[in-house]
Structure formats: structure tokens, C-alpha cells
């Protein structure tokens, strides 16, 4: 078994003893192999033992690294989740795939991804995600048979939500990987993408991982343990016998370097240097120090599988070691897009990094790995890297579909420290350079935390003070509106957003205004705001959903239905879209259409309790056994939903086998909160007594 640790350690020792270097393999060596891609969000390279850490945080990653190749100079092209993952899956720089931050863009449907290519090659494909930032609405779900992007219910009192722990993600991934399709003579090959979000702020690892560790390190240790469980279980089931395993991070975490406490603002190595491990049967283990990038991952996998790539890619297969003088592009544009600050872009070549800003930066990474000494006065290196950068700029063509995040999307992603907006039109100056505004950025992040900890007035004051300094800081304005809406100050939120729109047009603020107007009860104005946001460039499924809901509320069901259907057409593998369509049809009393949509939802996600519940409601008038079956599925998934329990118990008690209702009736009487269900408890107790009497 190629994953067994003792054998791997011996193989590595023999390789070194013979003086052999690491070898990934040859093109087509792993034709027909499975592919497991694991991306660990916000994982610093220096926390992984295989890359030099001595704290013992990542024993499972270290064991995997001993079986494969460690790329010690791997880099992300962007310190943000969505752009980085888009480069991983497409093999393109952000300037070519066009996804420049987490909220403002959706990958163009014409751009192939690793999933679409493997799907076309006959693979079954599944993605299992840890955070909303990779939701299907942003375009990465294409090519996946299952795109598991449904997250726990939102807590609107907090900016931090829209995620799930690694244990849940790996459980669902393991279940899918080990599912057999009953295909004769053998199951198809599979491609699974597993995204583990836990090292991302806020850091909240389970208690058993916290002792003696910083909050961030505790999350790293927990994530490694969960990944280890997945690898061991798959190995025990022989699911990894013929599998390419790739593990990397989308980006790192700053933890205070250069004044930044998280990531997204800067592109120093703390946030763009990443671990990269590729392990597979036949690999000769070792370390490769030549600089590589996320863009190299997809072409490497395809090359090992012997699958052709017709379209030109920015990355190259690592089957052949890249040239040491290759220039690698990077960018951090979120502050430009959401705050009107100067865009941050640059290149790395050999040991040098050039950052193009109003106050440009140049670092010798070998002599100054902490990037503390700006050597922009070094004319020869500055000119060489500046020319390389200009070549990237000249070649940049973005075919992506930009979308502007509607209010719900912006709120969910702001929970992760991400926001959306529109780039400033004026030429940036030194005053717009992010390194001169890092303190303002930290004040914004602090305000988010204030609100999360129950200090809403203080958070609102901080957001307002930021707007005094930078009225174009759309993220602060939208966040302030969120605080106002959470406090039912709907009119104040409307005024704040309208004031921002007087400064400049913003699709984000238009969409947020629609949410505020709807909360204030002005549905026609809300519909107009949502429509104007769409006209301004926001074409996201969330905005379509908001517009569809309001259209139904103002008496335009045909418009609403068209929008709901457009959503599921765009993302047919997303169970949430089918659920929303099904609920709309149910409310429209079109029960057959509702049942059809809801069946699609539960087929895509068998653990979708809300969809099973709604399916029962859609079937109850025409198919009682089907409704009961749906509600029994829902009851197992939603044990605290006493409305559901009541419906199931009473329908069974009136059916042909009333004794089947007894456990549900008894549980309702025993557990349902008396202050809310007093009358129902009386009715259920009566039915229970009748059945128990008849049973005697």
C-alpha cells in the first residue's frame, strides 16, 4: 500500500542513499488514476513540518509529503480564496481567468476547468467545500456531478458564518468517494476536490487541539487531524491504490507581518507562499526548489493522466521541471475593488519580488525572506522585473463574467473578511497605496469583530468614522448598513446607502439598498434597486434570487419563475437553487412542479433536511406515502423541527398503519416546547391515547 508510513520513510531513505533526485513521473504514467485535490484554506507554509516547522502540528501532511514531492517554492497568484482556487482549477493567472476577488466576479462559462476536463474524460466528479466563498454562484461548480456547497443556517447577528468544520467536509467527501456506481465491470474513476476552511479567521478549533497552541496553530493541527482521518479511511478501503493526491493551500495568513493580521491586503510571502505536495504511485519522493505556482497544478494532473490540453494555459506541467528564471505573476486587488485604493500587482523571478504600487517595492527574497528591506533603488533588478511585469500587463485579457455581489452574498462574504465593489476610476497616488492605509484596514476588521462580540453601537461608530476618511470605502458603508438592519433601523440603512450612491454608482450598494428597502416594506422600490444593481453589472444568482422573491411579492410570478429557472440552469448541480425553485412553486400551489424541483434538490444532496421537508409538503395532497417517506427523511435530519414532527405524527396516525405514528407522537409530547406548542400537545396527546387504547 503506497500510503503506508514505514514503507514511505524507507523509500525516501533508499532514494537519498542512491543519490537519486525526486521524480514526479512521465506524461501518461498514471492514465486512468483517480484524483484527490485537497486545498487547505489560509495555511501558512511555515506551519507544515515537511516545510520546516518543528511544532508537530501536521503529522499527517508530513507523512503524505514523505511519499511524494514537496515543492518548497510554491506560490499563490492571489491571497484570496476564490481567485486562488480559480487559478488552481483553470491553470490561468487571475488576469486571464478574470476572477479578481472573492465577490465581484464569476468564472466565465467558456473557460474549461479541471473538473470539466475530467468530466469529459469519463470521471465522476465531486466537490466538498468548507465555506460559502466557493459557492456555486461564482462559477466553479461546472463539471462537478456533486457540488456540496450548502452550509449551516446563517446567524444574522454575526459577520462570521457561512462555513463548516473539516470533520463534516471530510465525512461527506469520504462517503461520496467510497460510493460505487454499480457500473460493470468496474466503477468509474473519480475526481474529488476537498476544501478545508478551518485555519481561516476567526480561529475556533475544538478544545482538545488548543492546549499549548496559538488559536491559529490549533486550527492547523485540527485540520491536519481531520485530513489524516480521511486519508487513512480511504487507504484502508484501497481507494488510494491508484490515485494522484495533491495537497496545497489557497494562500497563507499574515498574523501581524507588515501590520496585516489576516490576508487579502498585501502579497508578501506570508500570504502567497504556500505548501504544495504531490503524491502518487511511482513518484520518487523528495523536494524541488524551483519556483512553481497554482497555475501549474491542473496541467500537471492532466499530463500525468495523459489527457490533452488544447487551450493555452499559463501554467505548465511539473512533469518537466520549469526553468528557474520563469517569472510568476501575483496580485491583491481586493482593496482596489472594495475601497478605491491602489491596485497591488507584481512578479517574482529567481530570488527577486517586484510589487507595482505608487510607492513600488523590490525585495531580495533569499537575503531578506521577511521582506523588510525595500531595494527599489537597485536599478538593474528593478528594471528587469518591471519589464517582466509589463509583459504580464500587456498580455492580460480577462474573459471572465464580472458579477456584483448582492446584499446577501456581500454579507456572507464579509463574514470572512471579504467584500466587493468597483475599482476606482481616478489614477491612484501614494495616498492610495495600501501600505499607507493598513491601519484603516485593521480598523475595519476590528469593527467587524466588535459587531460579532455584541458591540453593535461601537462597530457602527467605527464604520462611520472610516467613511469620514474614505467615503468611497464601500465595504465599510455596506457593513454599517448591515449593522443598522440587524438593529431594525431600516430607514437609517436606506439613507446611509443612498448617501453612498450620491458619491458614486456601485452595484454592491444598489443591491444592499434593495435589501434595506425590502426590510423597510417598500417592495416596489426594492425591486427597482435590485434591477438597477443587475443593470450595473451584478448578475449573480443571489441577486437573481432576491429579484425573483421580490417579483413574486409584488405580483409578478412569471418573472419570478423565469429568474428561479435561470438560476438552476446556470448551476444545475447546486441543490440550493432547486430548493428555492421548489419552494416558490409550492407557494404558487403548483405541487407537481414543486415536487420535481425538490426531488432534484434531494438527489443532489441527500442530507438536505429542508428540501425533504418541503418535498413532503408538495406531495401530501397527492401522494401520502411519498410525503411520509420525505418527512421521515427530514425528521432524521431535523430532529428539533417540531412542526415537521407534528405533521408526520398526525399524518401517520390517520393512515392505514397508525401504530407507525406512536414513536413520533410520544416524542412530540415529551419534547415539544410547551410555551409554543400547548394546543398541539393537547391534540397529539389525544391521538396518542386513542392509539394506545386501540392497541390494547
What is the spatial order of strands in the sheet that 361-364 belongs to?
328-332, 344-349, 352-356, 361-364
Phi/psi at 490 (nearest 5 deg)? -65, -45
Residues 631-652, mean pLDDT to the nearest whole number: 93
Write the pLDDT tens digit of every residue in 445-470.
Answer: 999 999 988 999 999 999 999 999 99
Instruction: Provide the strand spans (E) within 43-181.
Output: 69-71, 74-75, 105-106, 124-128, 146-148
Contacts of 643 (CB under 8 A, 6+ apart): none
For residue 187, the model assigns a pLDDT of 63
Higher-pLDDT residue of 330 and 693 is 330
Reported confidence tier of residue 401, pLDDT bands at 50, 70, 90: low
The pLDDT value given to residue 7: 29
- On the question of pLDDT at 104 being above 80, the answer is no
Greater confidence, 602 or 132?
602
Give the pLDDT score at 544.
86
pLDDT at 8 over 90: no
pLDDT at 311 over 70: yes
CB hemisphere CA count around 99 (13 angstroms): 30
Report the distance separating Cα 57 and Cα 74, nearest Å.
20
Query: Of the candidates 531, 533, 526, which has an alpha carbon nearest to the alpha carbon of residue 507?
Result: 533
Lowest mean pLDDT among 14-28, 57-71, 323-337: 14-28
Confidence label for 13 from pLDDT (cuts 50, 70 and 90)? very low
Partner residues linked to 75 by β-bridges: 273, 293
Mean local confidence (pLDDT), 158-166:
73
pLDDT band at 16; cut points 50, 70, 90: very low
Domains of the chain: 5-320 (3.40.720.10), 337-401 (3.30.1120.10)
| pTM (global) more than 0.85 | no
Quick one: 38 exposed, middle or buried, by C-beta within 10 A (0-12, 13-18, 19+)? buried
Task: Give me the mean pLDDT over the 463-487 stretch.
Answer: 93
Q: What is the pLDDT of residues 258-280, one digit of tens each?
A: 999 999 999 999 999 999 999 99
pLDDT of residue 15: 35
Question: For residue 125, how far is the Cα from the chain centroid?
Answer: 17
The answer to whether 615 touches 595, Cβ cutoff 8 Å, is yes
pLDDT tens profile 36-75? 999 999 999 999 999 999 999 999 999 999 999 999 999 9
The per-residue pLDDT for range 542-561, each reduced to its tens digit, is 788 899 999 999 999 999 99
Q: Tell whether the model's pLDDT for residue 382 goes beyond 50.
A: yes
pLDDT band at residue 475 under the 50/70/90 scheme: confident
Rounded to 10 degrees, the C-alpha dihedral 650/651/657/659 comes to -20
DSSP 321-345: PPPTT--EEEEE-HHHHHH----EE
Is the confidence at residue 410, as pLDDT, over 80? no
pLDDT tens for 488-539 read: 999 999 999 999 998 778 888 999 999 999 999 999 999 999 999 988 877 7
C-alpha distances in angstroms, 665 versus 243, 293, 374, 615, 656? 49, 59, 72, 21, 16
Residue 301 has pLDDT above 50, yes or no: yes
| d(C-alpha 684, C-alpha 238), whole Å | 50
Name the average pLDDT for the chain: 89
* Rg for the chain, CA atoms, rounded: 27
Contact 259, 442 (CB under 8 A): yes
The mean per-residue pLDDT over the stretch 229-250 comes to 96
Q: Decide: helix, strand or coil at residue 694.
A: helix
pLDDT over threshold 60, residue 25:
yes
Q: Hey, which residues does 287 pair with through a beta bridge?
A: 70
Percentage of residues of the chain with pLDDT beyond 90: 73
User: Which pLDDT value is given to residue 492?
Assistant: 97
Indicate whether 183 pLDDT > 70: no
Which pLDDT does position 2 carry in this prediction?
39
Nearest to 113 by CA among 315, 345, 395: 315
Stretch 643-663: mean pLDDT: 90
Amino acid at each position: 500500500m503506497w500510503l503506508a508510513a514505514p514503507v514511505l520513510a524507507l523509500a525516501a531513505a533508499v532514494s537519498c542513499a542512491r543519490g537519486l533526485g525526486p521524480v514526479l513521473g512521465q506524461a501518461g504514467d498514471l492514465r486512468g488514476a483517480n484524483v484527490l485535490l485537497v486545498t487547505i484554506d489560509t495555511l501558512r507554509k511555515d506551519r507544515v513540518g515537511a516545510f520546516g516547522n518543528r511544532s508537530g502540528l501536521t503529522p499527517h501532511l508530513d507523512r503524505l509529503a514523505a511519499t511524494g514531492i514537496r515543492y518548497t517554492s510554491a506560490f499563490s497568484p492571489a491571497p484570496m480564496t476564490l481567485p486562488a482556487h480559480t487559478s488552481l482549477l483553470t491553470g490561468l493567472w487571475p488576469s486571464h481567468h478574470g476572477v479578481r476577488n472573492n465577490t465581484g466576479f464569476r468564472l466565465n462559462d467558456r473557460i474549461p476547468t479541471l473538473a470539466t476536463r475530467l468530466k469529459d474524460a469519463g470521471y465522476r466528479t465531486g466537490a466538498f467545500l468548507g465555506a460559502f466563498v466557493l459557492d456555486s454562484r461564482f462559477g466553479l461548480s461546472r463539471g462537478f456531478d456533486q457540488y456540496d456547497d450548502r452550509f449551516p443556517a446563517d446567524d444574522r447577528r454575526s459577520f462570521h458564518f457561512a462555513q463548516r468544520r473539516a470533520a463534516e467536509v471530510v465525512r461527506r467527501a469520504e462517503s461520496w468517494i467510497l460510493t460505487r456506481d454499480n457500473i460493470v465491470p468496474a466503477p468509474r474513476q473519480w475526481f474529488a476536490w476537498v476544501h478545508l476552511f478551518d485555519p481561516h479567521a476567526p480561529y475556533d478549533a475544538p478544545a482538545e487541539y488548543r492546549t499549548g497552541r496559538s488559536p491559529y496553530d490549533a486550527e492547523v493541527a485540527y485540520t491536519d487531524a481531520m485530513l489524516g482521518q480521511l486519508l487513512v479511511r480511504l487507504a484502508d478501503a484501497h481507494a488510494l491504490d491508484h490515485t494522484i493526491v495533491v495537497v496545497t493551500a489557497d494562500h497563507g495568513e499574515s498574523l501581524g507581518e507588515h501590520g496585516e493580521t489576516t490576508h487579502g491586503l498585501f502579497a508578501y510571502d506570508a500570504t502567497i507562499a504556500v505548501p504544495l505536495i504531490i503524491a502518487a504511485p511511482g513518484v520518487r519522493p523528495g523536494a524541488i526548489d524551483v519556483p512553481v505556482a497554482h497555475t501549474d497544478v491542473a496541467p500537471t494532473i492532466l499530463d500525468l493522466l495523459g489527457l490533452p490540453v488544447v487551450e493555452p494555459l499559463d501554467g505548465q506541467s511539473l512533469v518537466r521541471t520549469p526553468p528557474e528564471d520563469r517569472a510568476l505573476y501575483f496580485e491583491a486587488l481586493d482593496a482596489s475593488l472594495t475601497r478605491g485604493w491602489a491596485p497591488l500587482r507584481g512578479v517574482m523571478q529567481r530570488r527577486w519580488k517586484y510589487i507595482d504600487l505608487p510607492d513600488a517595492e523590490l525585495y531580495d527574497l533569499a537575503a531578506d525572506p521577511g521582506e523588510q528591506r525595500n531595494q527599489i533603488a537597485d536599478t538593474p533588478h528593478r528594471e528587469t522585473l518591471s519589464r517582466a511585469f509589463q509583459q504580464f500587463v500587456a498580455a492580460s485579457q480577462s474573459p471572465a463574467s464580472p458579477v456584483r455581489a448582492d446584499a446577501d452574498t456581500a454579507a456572507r462574504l464579509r463574514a470572512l473578511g471579504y467584500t466587493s465593489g468597483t475599482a476606482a476610476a481616478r489614477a491612484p497616488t501614494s495616498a492610495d497605496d495600501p501600505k499607507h492605509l493598513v491601519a484603516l484596514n485593521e480598523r475595519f476588521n476590528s469593527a467587524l469583530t466588535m459587531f460579532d462580540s455584541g458591540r453593535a453601537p461601537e462597530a457602527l461608530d467605527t464604520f462611520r468614522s472610516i467613511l469620514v476618511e474614505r467615503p468611497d470605502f464601500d465595504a465599510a458603508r455596506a457593513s454599517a448598513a448591515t449593522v443598522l438592519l440587524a438593529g431594525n433601523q431600516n430607514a437609517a440603512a436606506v439613507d446611509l446607502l443612498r448617501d453612498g450612491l450620491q458619491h458614486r454608482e456601485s452595484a454592491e450598494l444598489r443591491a444592499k439598498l434593495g435589501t434595506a428597502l425590502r426590510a423597510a416594506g417598500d417592495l416596489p422600490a426594492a425591486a427597482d434597486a435590485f434591477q438597477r444593481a443587475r443593470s450595473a453589472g451584478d448578475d449573480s444568482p443571489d441577486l437573481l434570487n432576491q429579484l425573483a422573491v421580490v417579483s413574486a411579492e409584488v405580483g409578478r410570478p412569471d418573472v419570478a419563475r423565469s429568474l428561479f429557472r435561470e438560476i438552476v440552469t446556470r448551476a444545475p448541480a447546486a441543490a440550493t437553487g432547486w430548493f428555492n425553485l421548489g419552494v416558490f412553486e409550492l407557494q404558487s400551489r403548483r405541487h407537481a412542479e414543486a415536487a420535481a424541483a425538490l426531488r432534484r434538490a434531494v438527489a443532489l444532496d441527500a442530507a438536505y433536511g429542508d428540501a425533504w421537508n418541503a418535498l413532503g409538503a408538495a406531495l401530501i395532497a397527492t401522494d401520502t406515502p411519498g410525503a411520509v417517506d420525505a418527512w421521515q427523511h427530514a425528521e432524521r435530519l431535523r430532529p428539533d423541527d417540531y412542526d415537521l414532527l407534528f405533521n408526520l405524527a398526525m399524518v401517520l396516525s390517520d393512515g392505514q398503519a397508525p401504530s407507525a405514528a406512536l414513536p413520533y407522537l410520544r416524542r412530540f409530547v415529551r419534547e415539544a416546547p410547551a410555551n409554543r406548542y400547548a394546543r398541539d400537545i393537547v391534540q397529539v396527546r389525544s391521538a396518542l391515547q386513542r392509539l394506545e387504547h386501540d392497541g390494547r
